[in-house]
């Protein structure tokens, strides 16, 4: 059996395999099932680890490419190239084996080796490069106070950034983007995507609060980025009962602590959400969100919020098969009238 089959059949038997925080395999399940599967897992451990690492790298690539395209405003080809470079750098920094990165991108040019990735195979992402395209040294390229800044791009557009660091926030938007195309491993596949946004207490120069968003694959599978993010936000794992009845609309207004970093891409600097945590006790949360946005393609009652979405979000939703289907069903059919 290949690793994917082992994981699928073990899960069907009540045994779950996942990556532990230490980068090893975490196996859970009832004793009888564990007894049946542990010999296979031990025997195929290197292959299973490579597969799980590859799944993690694939999830990172999909998330980064989506953020760069829809939030960062990059053309799709440029977003995918930068996300691929970022994923290669992540594999190097985590000392993952070449075999995992080769499997993640189905790239026969990479070594099929258990040795750790020694250099980013797809170059460095733009945020690792100084304006003259040289690797920037830690602490040199982003010197300055971590307060609100005004950054100029080559075409003289201005971008007002929130401060970097750990900042309290409240969830203000939950947006269903529908099924979106994703290019991966040389194949084009389609996955359901959502966008979640948070409102900070910090204000722009016009007095409006900063908001930051992040896109996720709409899945709470054990290996999904969304589930890991939500559990980090909660500060504890989901129980099966909680997952069965969980509605993303409950996130609206929930406070949290966001870790925000400034990252450079194509000569522009963007604010990114690197991680999330529960709001520490004693820390004052931002004010309640005055005008939250909930948009669900499957719920026509939320469709009026469409006009309040960003242009790129509207374009992504309009291109989704779910939105096209809903709009077609909502249009009145032409019919002949006898008078």
- pLDDT for res 22: 60
DSSP E strand boundaries for the chain: 16-19, 25-28, 149-152, 158-161, 165-184, 187-203, 209-217, 255-265, 268-277, 293-295
> In the beta sheet, which residues pair with residue 166?
259
Structure token digits, residue 197: 């946004």
pLDDT reported for residue 267: 65
The tokens of 79 are what? 């977003």
Query: 228: which residues sit within 8 A by CB, 6+ positions away?
Result: none
CB atoms within 10 A of CB 275: 13
Backbone angles phi, psi at 241, to 5 degrees: -70, -40
Which residues in 53-63 are b (16+ Cβ under 10 Å) and which e? bbbbbbbbbbb
The pLDDT assigned to 116 comes to 86
Q: CB neighbours (10 Å) of residue 125?
A: 23
Strand partners, 272: 261
- Residues 273, 258: contact at Cβ < 8 Å? yes
pTM > 0.85: no
User: What is the SS3 assignment for 129?
Assistant: strand
Other CB atoms within 10 A of residue 205 CB: 8
pLDDT at 148: 30
Predicted confidence at residue 168, as pLDDT, reads 93
What pLDDT, on a 0 to 100 scale, did the predictor assign at position 211?
Answer: 92
The helix (run of H) or strand (run of E) holding residue 120 is none
Question: How many Å is the maximal CA-CA distance in the chain?
Answer: 80
List of the chain residues with pLDDT < 70? 21-23, 70-73, 124-159, 184-186, 265-267, 327-339
Report how far residue 147's alpha carbon sits from residue 210's, in angstroms, rounded to the nearest whole number. Answer: 13
> Can you tell me the distance from the alpha carbon of 160 to that of 205, in angstroms, rounded to the nearest whole number?
8
Using DSSP bridges, classify how beta strands 268-277 and 158-161 pair: parallel, antiparallel or unpaired.
Answer: unpaired
pLDDT value at position 147?
Answer: 33
């Amino acid at each position: 059996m290949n690793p994917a089959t082992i994981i699928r059949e073990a899960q069907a038997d009540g045994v779950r395999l996942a990556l532990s925080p230490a980068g090893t395999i975490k196996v859970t399940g009832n004793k009888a099932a564990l007894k049946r599967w542990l010999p296979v897992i031990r025997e195929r451990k290197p292959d299973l680890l490579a597969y799980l690492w590859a799944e993690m790298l694939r999830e990172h690539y999909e998330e980064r490419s989506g953020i760069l395209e829809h939030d960062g405003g990059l053309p799709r080809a440029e977003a995918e190239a930068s996300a691929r470079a970022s994923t290669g750098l992540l594999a190097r920094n985590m000392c993952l084996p070449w075999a995992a990165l080769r499997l993640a991108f189905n790239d026969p040019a990479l070594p099929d080796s258990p040795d750790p990735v020694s250099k980013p195979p797809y170059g460095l992402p733009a945020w690792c490069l100084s304006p003259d395209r040289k690797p920037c040294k830690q602490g040199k390229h982003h010197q300055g106070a971590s307060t609100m800044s005004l950054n100029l791009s080559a075409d003289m557009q201005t971008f007002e950034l929130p401060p970097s660091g750990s900042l309290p926030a409240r969830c203000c938007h939950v947006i269903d983007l529908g099924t979106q195309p994703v290019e991966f491993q040389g194949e084009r596949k389609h996955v359901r995507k959502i966008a979640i946004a948070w409102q900070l207490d910090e204000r722009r120069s016009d007095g409006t609060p900063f908001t930051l968003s992040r896109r996720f694959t709409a899945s709470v599978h054990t290996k999904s980025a969304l589930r890991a993010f939500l559990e980090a936000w909660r500060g504890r794992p989901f129980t099966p009962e909680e997952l069965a009845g969980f509605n993303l609309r409950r996130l609206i207004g929930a406070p949290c602590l966001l870790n925000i970093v400034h990252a450079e891409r194509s000569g522009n600097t963007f604010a990114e959400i690197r991680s999330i945590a529960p709001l520490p006790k004693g820390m004052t949360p931002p004010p309640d969100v005055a005008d939250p946005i909930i948009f669900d393609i499957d719920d026509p009652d939320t469709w009026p919020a469409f006009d309040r979405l960003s242009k790129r979000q509207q374009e992504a939703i309009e291109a989704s098969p779910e939105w096209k289907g809903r709009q077609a069903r909502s249009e009145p059919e032409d019919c002949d009238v006898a008078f």
